[in-house]
Each structure stands twice: as C-alpha cells, then as structure tokens.
Structure 1
Amino acid sequence: MKTKLLLISAMTFTMVGFSQKSEIKDAEKALDNGNATQAKASLETAAGMMANMDEKLQAQYYYVRGMVYADLAKKGDDSAFEEAVDSFKNVLSVEEKSGKDKYSEDAKQAMANMTADLVNAAVEDNKAENFDAAASKLYMSYKLSPADTVYLYYAASSAVNGGLYEKALGYYKELKDLGYDGSATVYKATNVETGEVEEMEKLQRDLMVKSGTYKDPIEEKTPSKKAEIVKNMALIYTQLGQDDKALEAYAVARAEYPNDVNLILNEANLYYKLGDKEKFKELMSEASAMAPDNPDLQYNIGVINMEQGNLEAAREAYRKALEINPNYINAQLNLSTSYVNEGNSLIDEMNSLGNSKADIAKYEELKEKKDSLFREGAQILEDALKNNPDNQSILTQLKNIYGALGDNENFMRVKKLLGE
C-alpha cells in the first residue's frame, strides 16, 4: 500500500510539473502570436504552482513573464513596466543562486531595451505634461541602468515641472549623495556647405571632418550641474515652507559655489520673504558688485525687486541693464511695466472716492498722476521702438497703454504697425 501511495504521489508531482511547463509554453506561443493578454492569463495559471517549480522552471517563468509585461508596456500599459522589470530581476536572482545562466543574458538585453522604451515613453509623457508618469519612468530607467545618472537628473526635472516637490527633492538628494556632476564634452564642427556649427557624436564629427564636408572641429565642456542641484533643493524647501532647511541648503551651496550669483539672488529672495529686508538689500548689493557689467544679473535684480514691490530699486536695476545693453528688450518692457503697475495701483483709490467736491478734486489729481505714469511707460517703449520697429511685444504693450490712456490717435497708429 505504501508503495502505491508513493507512486501516486510521484505521478501527481510529475503531472504538476508538466502542467507548469505547459502553461509557460502556452504563454510563449501566445506571445509569439502577438497575444500578450492571453499569454498573461496562462502565466497567472502557472503562478499558482510556483512553490512546486524548480529553479530552472522558475527562471523560465520569470523570463517569459518579463517579456509578456514588456510587450504590454510597449503597447501602452504603463503599469506593466514595473512588472516587467521585477520579473527580469527575478530571472537574474534565481539563476545567480542556482549557478545556471540560461536566461540571464537575454534578461539583461531585455532590460536594456526596456530602458530605451521607458525613456521614449517619458519623453512623450513630458510633451503631454504628464510629469508624474514621466518622472517615475525616468527614475525606473535610472534603476535599470544606474550608470546613466542623467536619467535621475531628468526625473527630478520632470517632477519639478509637475510641482511634485517631495518627489523631486528625493531625486535631488540622491543625485547629491552620488556626487552627480552632469558636465559633459560636446563635439562640434562647421558644415562647409551651410557655414553652420553643428553638434554631433565624436566619431561622426571626426569622420565628417576627415571627409571634408565639415571643418574647424571644436570640443566644449558643458558646466557642472552641482550648483543647480543644491540651488533647486533650497528652492524646493522654500516652496514646501521649510525655510530653515532652505537657509541651510543655501549656506552649503554658497560655501561650495561662492561665485554663483543666482544662488545669492535666490537667497536674497528668501530673506525678503522672511521679512529680513536688511539682509535682502545686503545680498542684492553683493550680487550687483559681483558682476556689475552683467546685464542679465541687473535684469534679474530688477525682476526680484519688482516682485517684492520695490519699484524704484527695480527701475534702477533695469536702467543699469540698459546702460550695459541699450537694446535689452525685456528690460525695456519691464521698466515700462513698472510705471504702468504703479499707475494701476491708484485705480482702486480713485474708484473708492465719492462725489464731494474734495473727492472729485482728489480723483482728478490721482488720474493725472496715473496718466503721467502711463505716459512715462509709453515713452520708454517708444524709445525702444526706434531700434526694434517690428517687435510685437513692444507694439502690443504700447497699444494697450495708449488704449488705457484713451489716446485714440496713438492707439490706431500702433494698431496699424501691428498689422491689425
């Protein structure tokens, strides 16, 4: 009797093993026929018998499962990416323990292919402004290919674009711990036919130069992204209301990159937010002294002061930018806007006045002041127009000012210049 029982038990075990192999084979066949959904169903049946699988069959099961989910991911099922990755990693784990290597190389190749698929899908997600999905896919790409830390950097950028600050902060911390630099060498050469300088891979560049179709090969080093990462961490802390951590981050960043003017500007902005206007002014002065001939810096100082309502300081900075670069259109536009904004700030007070003689007199006084500010803003743009007669931004803003002033003659003149 015992012998019969053992025989029956052995036959049952053999039947289970045969069933497992059959289900996996069915999954492979369905996948080959382009039916990943049917393949998935076959694998789900086999999964229930996982405990009875030997290591060889487990590796086969996980490999096929990885290929099935990779196919589903390629067809638009974003949730399948992670399942595929987990399955391929299980292949490597199982075969490492068993000492066998039947599916590992194919699994590695499949993961490399999946990295490309993930990156391409993330690019499409970013275009569609689906930043959360893009960040997750780029992070998974990094996990699949840890040597490509640039994927982690782009994951952080996608998270920031989506306002996912906690997620972005985690990615930036990881980049900082890795010592990510992000600098690279860019290879360029001049197209002989067009005269344009073009960027390309080094080997391609060298071959093109050798062929004579390109000339003047150059190599440029792109700047390190370390300062940007620390700065972004500080900005995120500020966004999250963690001002103490933001100040600590700025202190670390300033110690590492003492000549980074943008760090000073961002730190100044935070001190203004915290109500420390003296520190704000001190840092603004430091930034200005650091690069007195940089029109972009003066412009940025103007922008920050304007955001904080310091109109006179903003105008001073915009004028300095224009002294350095008289054709700085954005500085001209913002300088004009500072006068328009000041004029607009009087409108609420004008509207709050009554009909008494004193109120009417006050109204006329405020109106004249408002119109004077608007005319000042218009004159700045009229001067800008002399060197930029076709600039649409200048013309549009100028038209709006004349419209607000009720100056129909100039309004129609500018409207004609706009081609309306």
Structure 2
Amino acid sequence: MKRIIVLMLVVLVAGYSYGQKKPKINQAEKARSEGNLGEAKNILDEAIEHEKTKDDGKTWYYRGLLLASLDTTSNPEYQSLVDDPLRKAMESFAKADDLEKGNSGFYTTDAIGLPVTKEQQIETLWSYYLNKGVENYQNDENSEAYKYFEKTTVVKPQDTTGYIYAGSVAQAGKEYDKALKNYYHLINDLDYKGRDTFYSVIYIEGVVNEDSEKALEVIRKAKTVFPGDRDFAKSEISALVKLGRQEEAQKELETAIAAEPDNANLRYTLGVMYDETGNPDKAKEAYMSSLEVDPDYLNARFNLAVLYY
C-alpha cells in the first residue's frame, strides 16, 4: 500500500512539473515591443524562476529591456509595476553578460529587420536620460533635470558626463550636498581632471560649508593634479591664512612669488602677513617690493605709510 502511495506521489509531482510549461521568452519580447509591458513582465517573472530559462542569458537580457521600458514609459498603468526599474535593468543586463560569457552579443531587430545590439540600446537609453535632463534644465526644472542626469550615471557609471551635469544642476539649485556627492565621485573615483570641478568643490567646502580644512585638502589634491596652476597655489595660501597657519602660508607665498616675481599682489599679501604677525621691518620690505613692481599699488602704499606713521 505504501509503495502505491509513493508511486502516486511521483506521478503527481511529475505531472505538476510537466504542467509547468517553459515560459516563452521570445513572446515576452514581442509583447514588450508592442507596448504590452504587463504581459511581458508576467512572462519574464516566470522565466527567471523556471528551471529551463532562469540561467539563460537571453531571459535576463529581455528582462533588462523590459525594466528599461518600465522606467521610460509614460503609461501610468505600468509606471508602478516595479520599484527602481532602471537599476534592476542594468543588473539584469550584467547578469545576462555573466551567464553568456563568450557569446557574440545580445540583440533584437528593428521594424525593418536590422539588428540592434544591447550596446546600442544602452547608448540610446543613456542619450534619452541625458536629453531629458538638458530639456528640464532649459525649462528651469532643476530637480527633474538632476533626476535624469543621475539616471545617466546608472546606465553608464564610468562616464563622467552625467556626474558633471548632475553636480552643476545641483549647485545651481543650491543643493550643495548633491553637488558634492557627484563632484567627489568624479575626482576621487573616476580620476576626473577638471579644473572647474575642483574649483566648485573648494568653493562649496570653503565658502558655503565654511570648512577651510576640507577646502585645503581639496586644494592640495588639485595642486597635485595641476602642479603648474598658480590659482590653486594662491587658494592654498588663502586657506592657510584662514586657518591661522601663518608660517605655512608664508612659505607658500614665497614659493608663489618666486614663480610670479611680477605679481605685486602676492608681495603685498606677504607684507600683510608679516604686518599681522608683528614683524614690521619684514612687512615694510614686502610692501616696498610690491611698489617696485607696481608703483601705483594703492594698498601697499597706504599700509607702508601707516607703518611709517
């Protein structure tokens, strides 16, 4: 009797397994291309669980296309089907590549039968978000613009364009934390060598956040990236003065003067520094050298007169 029961269970299980038909993933892609995103999702939800399709790279490729479509659709019926669809789309594409290592590549065909590769589809997706960001920025919709620029960084995380635009838009909207998040990713993680980005970080840290130590740290990083840039050298002097580190500032000033001997302002600044630290003779010497470079430099002449008086 027990043997009969076991045999019946085996038959039932076999029948159940047989009853679970293999999901037709090509039908899912057809539904997606025709705009039936709900139908496509149902098929692919089954496919990523089914024994015969869950390890098929094409399943995850089609799922990536579907999730990207869910993120870009204007149809409210589909907009809330999946949370964070774009990030999940990129994860699906990555899994598809991992499962099909050595594959010649994934593609679909367009309306006239020409192949459209996954790389082309990703590039089109990236361009879509970038253009939407620019469009919103031009319409003074900074928050929306930021959202789209941020999406470009999800699609192509190694491309600097989206981070630059996102940081600039956030800074323009005075969302400084968001700006710094993008700028720091550029200079720390992507080794981006953009002067404007460094200047923006120095400004936000030093002026907006009033954190001269952090600003000085970024200035010194900028100096290693742009060793011949005199503006960063001058910024370092200003930061050191704000921090009360006069001796360091003095040394940097002397180095800057050696690099720019005709810069009367640097000589004047050195005079002010000597003046404030109680060294009037050195201050007079620096003011005089400033006037030798520029006889009409009013500030140096005034300070010199005060010292003599």
**TM-score, normalised with respect to structure 1:** 0.45
Matching of residue 242 in structure 1 with residue 253 in structure 2? no
2:91 paired with 1:86: yes
Q: Partner of 2:219: helix, strand, or coil?
A: helix
Please say if residues 48 and 60 of structure 2, whose CA atoms lie closer than 8 Å, have aligned partners that are also in contact.
no
1:113 paired residue among 109, 124, 132: 124
1:266 Cα deviation after fit: 4.4
Quick one: distance in 2 between partners of 1:84 and 1:174? 22
Give the one of 191, 201, 205 matched to 1:233.
201
CA displacement at 1:48 relative to structure 2:
5.6
Shift of the 258–25 alpha-carbon distance from structure 1 to 2, 3 Å rule, reads closer
Residue 135 of structure 2 aligns with which residue? 124
Matches for 1:212-223 after TM superposition, within 5 Å: none
**What is the CA distance between 1:149 and its match in structure 2?**
3.4
For this pair of structures, how many residues does the alignment match?
244
Could you tell me whether the CA contact under 8 Å between 1:138 and 1:154 is conserved in 2? no
1:179 match: 191
Distance 1:264 1:125, change over 3 A: farther
Query: 1:233, 1:292 → 2: CA distance?
Result: 29
Deviation at 1:120, TM superposition (A): 1.7
Give the match's secondary structure for 1:54. Answer: coil
Structure 1 residues 233, 94: CA separation in 2 closer, same or farther (over 3 Å shift)?
Answer: same
2:229 aligns with 260
Alpha-carbon offset, residue 115 of structure 1: 1.9
Task: Give per-residue Cα distances to partners, 1:304-323, cap 9 Å, x unaligned.
Answer: xxxxxxxxxxxxxxxxxxx9
Q: 1:59·1:91 contact (CA, 8 Å) conserved in 2?
A: yes
What secondary structure, in the 3-state scheme, does the structure 1 residue paired with 2:216 have? Answer: helix
- The residue number in structure 2 matching 1:75 is 73
**CA 1:141–1:134: 2 relative to 1, 3 Å:** same
How far the C-alpha of 1:133 sits from its partner, in A, is 0.8
What is the match of residue 152 of structure 2?
Answer: 138
Preserved CA contact (<8 Å) 1:172 1:233: yes
Q: Distance in 1 between matches of 2:224 and 2:104?
A: 50
Partner of 1:103: 106
**What is the rounded CA distance, in whole Å, between the counterparts of 1:267 and 1:66 in structure 2?**
48
Q: Does the 8 Å contact 1:159/1:167 carry over to 2?
A: yes
2:61 is matched with 63
CA distance in 1, matches of 2:246, 2:262: 22
After superposition, the Cα gap between the structure-2 partners of 1:55 and 1:108, relative to the gap in structure 1 and judged at 3 Å, is farther
- State the 1:12 CA deviation: 1.5
How far apart in 2 are the matches of 1:106 and 1:57?
Answer: 20
Tell me the C-alpha RMSD between the 2 structures: 4.5
Scaled by the length of structure 2, the TM-score of the pair is: 0.59
Question: Per the alignment, in what secondary structure is the counterpart of residue 17 of structure 1?
Answer: coil
- Deviation (angstroms), 1:247: 1.4
Does residue 15 (structure 1) correspond to residue 19 (structure 2)? The answer is yes
Q: Cα distance, 1:261 vs. partner?
A: 4.4
CA shift for structure 1 position 92: 1.5
Match of 2:281 in 1: none
Helix, strand or coil at the partner of 1:180:
coil
Partner letter of residue 134 of structure 2? V
Deviates more, 1:108-117 or 1:158-167: 158-167
Cα distance in structure 2, aligned partners of 1:252 and 1:25: 52
Hey, what's the Cα distance between the residues in 2 that align with 1:73 and 1:119?
14
Matching residue within 149, 161, 166 for 2:160: 149
User: Post-superposition shift, 1:259?
Assistant: 4.8
Bigger relative contact order (CA 8 A; separation at least 6)? 2
Map 1:304-383; keep pairs closer than 5 Å.
Answer: none
CA distance in 1, matches of 2:119, 2:224: 42
CA pair 260-100 structure 1, distance change in 2 beyond 3 A = closer
Aligned to 1:51, the other structure's residue is in SS state coil
Q: 1:16 is matched by which residue type in structure 2?
A: Q
Describe the shift of the 1:271–1:75 C-alpha distance in structure 2 as closer, same or farther (beyond 3 A).
same
Q: 2:196, 2:245 → 1: CA distance?
A: 25
Provide closer, same or farther for how the CA distance between residues 51 and 32 of structure 1 changes in structure 2, counting only shifts above 3 A: closer
Change (3 A) 1:16 1:103: farther
Which region of structure 1 is more displaced relative to structure 2, 99-108 or 232-241? 99-108
1:338-388 deviation line (CA, Å, top 9, x unaligned)? xxxxxxxxxxxxxxxxxxxxxxxxxxxxxxxxxxxxxxxxxxxxxxxxxxx
Q: Distance in 2 between matches of 1:55 and 1:26?
A: 13
Equivalent position of 1:386 in the other structure: none
Return 5+ residue gaps in structure 2 as ranges.
Answer: 108-115, 266-295, 297-309
CA distances 1:203-240 after superposition (whole Å, capped 9, x unpaired): xxxxxxxxxxxxxxxxxxxxxx2x43333333333233
Gaps of 5+ in 1: 182-224, 298-322, 324-420
Match of 1:160 among 159, 171, 178: 171
Q: What displacement does 1:16 show?
A: 1.8
1:6 & 1:100 partners in 2: Cα distance? 38
